[in-house]
């Protein structure tokens, strides 16, 4: 079918009001995931084929994305040729205009391309704001986009030593949350990057007080359920002196989800999926 095409799309969203990125089961309606809204927009293009979106990277309720990705097939009526990438982006964004979701890029890809399985890496950035005893002291533009801590400083040197222990090939069972998929997911992952660097806010120069930001970045081909938020929480605990570097190493080596201390998981709203990279498209552009 010459007028049937498979597209890889890149999209961003503010995750605050969505139940997560994946579609919501019927029994959980009227709550909706980002995927539900994307599929609704695709259906408004009136394709002949049933609409089914395959999302590359799962994010939970409250987590944001600067660049997630997905693929889908689209066959137009009346033997019309496939949409160009530019027209597709414009049309989908028109139908998404009332949502906090935007398509940023699109590519025609081979019919056997899979957005999830062919992703070469995923990058997450977790944003932390220091010296904030009350969330109301944050700029409005940061309220749902960082983890605000009372601490005016963190022991970043200790955090970096702890982060270095996480890099490489490990069984990350201690850093995954309990889920129904646990029995089917290999807990061994290769973490390519775990870094802690100064961050910032684009409103900083216009705000009446200085807010110190740090960004924790993780890059790997794939992650376990809530692995990034659990690693972030543990690293912050090291920075606060609540957990030592040897204790974090013990948690990692325990290879047991129950070894992870209670009440350490970083909240969802500070986390951003920033990149999904592919060989086929030369990376997210």
60 in active site: yes
Contacts of residue 263, defined as CB under 8 A and 6 or more positions apart, other chains included, come to none
CA distance 247 to 96: 46
Answer for the pair 214, 266: CB distance below 8 angstroms, yes or no.
no
State the residue for tokens 């599929």.
Answer: 39
The answer on whether 124 is annotated among ligand-binding residues is yes
State the residue for tokens 């552009």.
Answer: 285
**List 60, 155, 171, 277, catalytic entry:** 60
How far CA 247 is from CA of 71, 235, 238, in Å, comes to 42, 11, 9
Helical (H) or strand (E) element with 71: strand 64-75
User: What is the DSSP secondary structure assignment for residue 173, as one 8-state letter?
Assistant: G
Q: Which positions are annotated as active-site residues?
A: 60
Q: Residues at the annotated binding site for substrate?
A: 124
The binding site comprises: 124
């Amino acid at each position: 079918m010459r007028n049937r095409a498979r597209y890889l799309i890149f999209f961003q969203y503010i995750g605050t009001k969505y139940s997560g990125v994946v579609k919501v089961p019927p029994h959980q309606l009227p709550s909706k995931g980002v995927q539900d809204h994307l599929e609704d927009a695709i259906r408004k293009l009136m394709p002949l084929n049933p609409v089914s979106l395959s999302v590359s990277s799962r994010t939970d309720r409250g987590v944001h994305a600067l660049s997630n990705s997905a693929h889908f097939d689209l066959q137009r009526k009346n033997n019309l040729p496939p949409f160009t990438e530019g027209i597709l982006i414009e049309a989908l964004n028109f139908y998404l205009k009332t949502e906090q979701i935007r398509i940023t890029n699109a590519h025609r890809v081979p019919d056997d391309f899979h957005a999830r399985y062919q992703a070469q890496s995923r990058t997450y950035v977790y944003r932390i704001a220091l010296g904030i005893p009350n969330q109301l002291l944050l700029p409005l533009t940061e309220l749902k986009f960082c983890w605000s801590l009372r601490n005016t400083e963190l022991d970043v040197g200790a955090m970096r030593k702890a982060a270095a222990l996480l890099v490489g090939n490990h069984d990350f069972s201690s850093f995954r949350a309990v889920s129904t998929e646990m029995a089917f997911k290999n807990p061994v992952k290769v973490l390519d990057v775990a870094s802690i660097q100064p961050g910032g806010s684009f409103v900083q120069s216009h705000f009446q007080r200085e807010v110190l930001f740090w960004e924790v970045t993780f890059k790997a081909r794939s992650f376990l359920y809530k692995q990034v938020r659990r690693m972030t929480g543990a690293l912050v605990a090291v920075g606060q002196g609540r957990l030592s570097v040897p204790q974090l190493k013990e948690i990692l080596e325990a290879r047991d989800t129950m070894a992870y201390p209670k009440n350490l998981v970083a909240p969802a709203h500070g986390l951003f999926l920033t990149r999904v990279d592919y060989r086929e498209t030369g990376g997210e552009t």
